[in-house]
Structure 1
Amino acid sequence: MKKTLIALAVVAAAGSTGAHAANVYSADGTELNVGGRAEFRGDFIGKSENGRITEVDGTMKNSSRFRLNVGGTTQISDTLSGFGFYEGEQGVTSSADNSADKDFKQRYMYAGLQGDFGAVSFGRQDTAAVQISQMSDVTTFTGAQKEFINAGNEQINNTIAYSGNFDALSLKASYIAGDDKNTDGYGISAIYTLPMGLGFGLGYSGGDNGYIGNVKQGSSDALIAGINYTLDSLYLAGTYTTGDSDNKSNEEFDGVELAAVYGFGNGFALKGAYQKTDNKNSGVTTEKSDFFELTGDYAFNKNINAYLAYLVNNLKESSVGAKDAEDTLRFGLKYSF
């Protein structure tokens, strides 16, 4: 694959919302696009629940999902345009539950303005630091680097975001105007990519944790750094995150994620990753995750692909919070439109 194709594959794996969108309307400077995916995901041996992988009770845990997104742009003047985007996701229950209305999730809903200055948007969207976590979030089970604090996570309500691209520099900033008292947050991040394909990313996020009852909680912050490298059909990346989830109660965290993708040029790609994340509370460390992953992905064409991923869980059953830790095997078939 060429560098552009690898870049598109990386973005799609990281949860891109418009890689396959179809243009359904275009007139008088206004466009409307519709996209999404129908994805079967079957987990064997172990199932992922609440950040842990535990033993599958039966033969297979169904983790399938369906996403639908609608996005549009409208030209206001020669230098200014408006845009809007929505995406929702429908999950499934197990066969025994026989329910058709389980786990609906509103992922994105935002509107904004774009011009020579960049883009400013308002609504439920990603915070600034997510572009750094996406550098290594390119395989089946990666993505924990954005989950430590709300101010650095994806799909956050009440977010005001700025995005600007200046040649080799991608700059993002975000502010969360919290619904509840003392829940505001902020973030800033940048990625600079050299002509040789080597990119460096750095981001900082922080915010207040609100109240529990009448007790005001502390504040949280996160520093995230990333590096990636693209060479023809090879993509390599690593990210590191550290910070405080609550400085008042002395809760800290650390996370590292390494990933590699190699495309063979015939539709087949091999992906590998390592992730280790820890929480620390008053000096007591809890392993949140520790695993190796190997995934084989075959694209029949640009719209449909199948993959098989195996996760080797390094957590020991004796670890704090890691009882019944299991490996897992996931088979997926995804149709994107």
Structure 2
Amino acid sequence: MKMAAIATAITTALVSGSALAAEVYNSDGTSLSIGGRAEFRGDFQGKANGDELKGTMDNASRFRVNVGGETRITDSLNGIGFYEAEQTVGNGEDDRNTGNTDFKQRYMYAGLVAGDNTITFGKQDAATVQISQMSDNVSTHSGIQKTYIAAGDEQINNALNYSGYFMDALSVKASLLAASGENQDGYALSAIYTLPFGLGVGLGYAANENDGSQDSTQFIGGLNYTWEGLYVAGTYTQGEGSKKYQLGDNDFTGYEFVAHYRFENNFQALVGYQKGEIDPANLSKFDISDYYELTGVYYFNKSLRTYATYKINNLEDADNSLRLALRYDF
């Protein structure tokens, strides 16, 4: 597949949130699509965060729904809008009928598209997330690379984003984060270049102020390779001022690797590894994640899949976990 086609698919995903999103309205150059997922996820041996599971199952199920719109302004300029929310299940230890009526807003933005160039404003991913997603594409527990600092995270409020695709090979993104609080603005830049034989190289940088405490900076790099049913990727990040732990000045590093192969019988096998470290100025360095993951996925069709994941947790006093899941995309 040419990179231009891949770029088009990525742009479509930004509008629809899902390659399966159904168009429910199209008239006079304006269209509306609805998509989402319903996903049962049950952890049967230890919780996903490493805590002890006292009962039989920890329910991590979720439901997502998104609405995307597009309207033609001229032959070369379109307007877009997108919204996505998620609801998780009530999981009370004693009340099995516990419900959750809250929907969490994930994305909400609007923008303009001119050819392979897109400008959007609202709640959306920072520019460096495209690098972290190189190793965060299918793994059940991955994604730590995008959580260290606000300017490098996903689903960030007040983000003005630019995305461009060039030469059928180069994806460029830039973000400006205009915070409502004093001294909390940020920015991010990233690029991925994919060579004709399937090797992708990505680099990114993000920074934001932290309202008087240590400012946050993050460098992130990634490599991925695609060949027929095989995909392998690795990302590395380092920086300072992690927002995850308020310990004064601190440095952080993170590693994430993933490999998966899709067989012709619709079965996919995945292996992954992740490690994250925080190094505070006045305390000893400590790990915030360190685990291996083994996953098997079976695709019934393009909408329905089931998977099993075993997480081998290397953190002290943390339990391993076994997750069974069934996911329906629409």
Is the pair's TM-score, using the shorter chain for normalization, greater than 0.5?
yes
State the 1:92 CA deviation: 1.1
Look up the match of 1:73. 70
Per the alignment, residue 329 of structure 2 pairs with: 336
Find the residue that maps to 1:76 and give its secondary structure. strand
Residue 23 of structure 1 contacts residue 32 of structure 1 at CA under 8 Å; is this kept in 2?
A: yes
Distance 2:308 2:45 in 1: 13
Is the CA contact 2:64–2:85 (under 8 Å) kept in the aligned structure 1? yes
Partner of residue 152, structure 1: 152
Contact 2:65 2:84 in 1 (8 A): yes
Q: Which amino acid aligns with 1:186?
A: Y
- Secondary structure of 2:145's partner? helix
What corresponds to 2:43 in structure 1? 43
Specify the alignment match of 2:209 in structure 1: 208
Identify the residue that residue 88 of structure 1 maps to in structure 2. Answer: 85
Show CA shifts across 1:49-70 (max 9, x none). xxx3111120000000000000
Asked whether the 8 Å contact 2:148–2:242 carries over to 1, the reply is: no
Distance in 2, matches of 1:99 and 1:79, equals 50
Aligned 8 A contact 2:149 2:242 in 1: no
Amino acid across the alignment from 1:74 = T
1: distance between equivalents of 2:21 and 2:98?
A: 29
Alpha-carbon separation, structure 2, partners of 1:209 and 1:267: 47
- Alpha-carbon distance in structure 2 between the residues aligned to 1:120 and 1:252: 32
Deviation at 1:17, TM superposition (A): 2.2
- Contact 1:3–1:233 at 8 Å: present in 2 too? no
In the TM superposition, residue 246 of structure 1 has moved relative to its aligned partner by 5.9
- String of CA shifts for 1:165-191, please: whole Å, max 9, x gaps: 112000000011001111111000000
What does residue range 28-67 of structure 1 map to in structure 2 within 5 Å?
Answer: 28-48=28-48, 52-67=49-64
Aligned position for 2:256: 257
* Aligned-pair CA distance for 1:41: 0.3
Report the AA paired with residue 315 of structure 2.
L
Question: Residue by residue, what CA displacement relative to the aligned partner does 1:116-142 show, whole Å, maximum 9, x if unpaired?
Answer: 360000000000000000000031111
Q: For 1:266-295, what per-residue CA distance to the aligned partner results, in whole angstroms no more than 9, with x for missing partners?
A: 111001100000011015211000000000
Q: CA RMSD in A?
A: 2.3
Instruction: Give the secondary-structure state (helix, strand or coil) at the position aligned to 2:131.
Output: helix
CA contact (8 A) 1:3 1:232 kept: no
How many Å separate the matches in 1 of 2:327 and 2:213? 42
Q: Which runs of 5+ in 2 are unaligned?
A: none
Residue 303 of structure 1: aligned partner = 303
Amino acid at match of 1:266: N
Distance (Å, rounded) in 2 between the aligned partners of 1:46 and 1:99: 21
2:216 aligned partner: 220
State which drifts further: 19-28 or 100-109.
100-109
2:69 partner amino acid: G
Distance 1:266 1:117, change over 3 A: closer
Amino acid at match of 2:20: H
Residue 17 of structure 2 contacts residue 68 of structure 2 at CA under 8 Å; is this kept in 1?
A: no
- The 3-state SS of whatever aligns with 1:180 is coil
1:46 aligned counterpart, secondary structure: coil
Partners of 1:264 and 1:117 in 2: how far apart? Answer: 33
Per-residue CA deviation, residues 201-255 of structure 1 (Å, 9 max, x unaligned), is 0000000112xxxxx2221000000000000000000000000016993211000
The alpha carbon displacement at 1:102 in A equals: 5.1
Distance 1:131 1:246 in 2: 19
Of the candidates 279, 297, 320, which is equivalent to residue 327 of structure 1?
A: 320
3-state DSSP class of the match of 1:145?
helix
Which is richer in strand?
A: 1
1:240 aligns with 2:236: yes
CA contact (8 A) 1:92 1:103 kept: no
Contact 1:159 1:174 in 2 (8 A): yes
Give the Å deviation of 1:265.
Answer: 1.4
Q: Does 1:189 align with 2:190?
A: yes
Secondary structure of the corresponding residue to residue 135 of structure 1: coil
1:302: Cα distance to partner? 0.5
| Structure 1 segment 272-283 matched on structure 2, within 5 A | 272-282=271-281
**Residue type at the aligned position of 2:197:** M
CA contact (8 A) 1:110 1:124 kept: yes
Residues 1:141 and 1:117: Cα distance change in structure 2 (over 3 Å)? closer
Q: Distance in 2 between matches of 1:198 and 1:222?
A: 24
- The Cα of 1:46 is off from its aligned counterpart by 1.2
In the TM superposition, what is the alpha-carbon distance from 1:316 to its structure 2 partner?
1.8
Instruction: Read off the aligned partner of 2:323 and give its amino acid letter.
Output: R
**1: CA distance, partners of 2:76 / 2:91:** 50
TM value normalised by structure 1? 0.89
What is the alpha-carbon distance in structure 1 between the residues aligned to residue 101 and residue 202 of structure 2?
37
| Cα distance in structure 2, aligned partners of 1:329 and 1:249 | 35
Distance apart, 1:99 and its partner CA: 2.8
Runs of 4+ residues over 3 Å off in structure 1: 246-249
2:51 partner SS: strand
